[in-house]
Amino acid sequence: MTRSLRATLLMLLAGVLAAGCGGDSEDRNAYVDQVNRAQQSFADTVQELSGLITDQSTTKSDRETLGRFETAIDGVVEELSSIEPPEEVSTQHGELVETIDGYGDEVSAAVDALEGDEPEELVRAQRELLEATGEVSADINRSIGEINGRLQD
């Protein structure tokens, strides 16, 4: 894996950690706490796994790392799906879950591409994963911004 993929995975981490919103409602605060706990657990995993992706790591090692990353995505999707959002952010919460779940599909595709030995396929998979990571980071930030805005109204 390239250094740019590692940096992009860390960018995703920054987007996930951006959640946090005010409000004095007990339900709102409980929701924010639950989402933040799920995101923090995911962020810790991303931080750990991104350190395993280096310029010297093997394709097999990268495949295993991305497989663990895929498992972490599935876990955070499951955890976020189990959270009951306040009514005013239920749509945005659903979009957040769908965004992260869709990213899991991109990671799965990258893992599949690493099964092959064709250098062009590996480069294409890395490029597509980089693009998907950038897009999902922006989508997560947008969803979190919308959730924050609605909860602070």
Q: Taking a C-beta distance cutoff of 8 angstroms, is the pair 65, 52 a contact? A: yes
CA–CA separation, 29 vs 15, rounded Å? Answer: 20
Question: pLDDT in tens for each of the 153 residues of the chain?
Answer: 555 555 556 556 554 323 444 445 778 888 888 888 888 888 888 878 877 777 787 878 888 888 898 999 999 999 999 999 999 899 999 999 999 999 888 888 888 877 777 777 777 777 787 788 888 888 888 888 888 888 876
Compute the distance between CA of residue 81 and CA of residue 14 in angstroms, rounded to an integer: 21
The whole-number pLDDT of residue 121 equals 75
pLDDT of residue 12: 61
Q: Which of 82, 98, 105 is nearest to 142 (CA)?
A: 98
The CA distance from 119 to 32, in Å, is 44
d(Cα 44, Cα 114) in Å, to the nearest integer? 24
pLDDT of res. 79: 95
DSSP of 94-115: HHHHHHHHHHHHHHHHHHHHTT
User: How far is 11 from 132, CA to CA, in rounded Å?
Assistant: 12
Taking the whole predicted model, whether its pTM rises above 0.85 is answered as no
Residue 6 pLDDT: 59
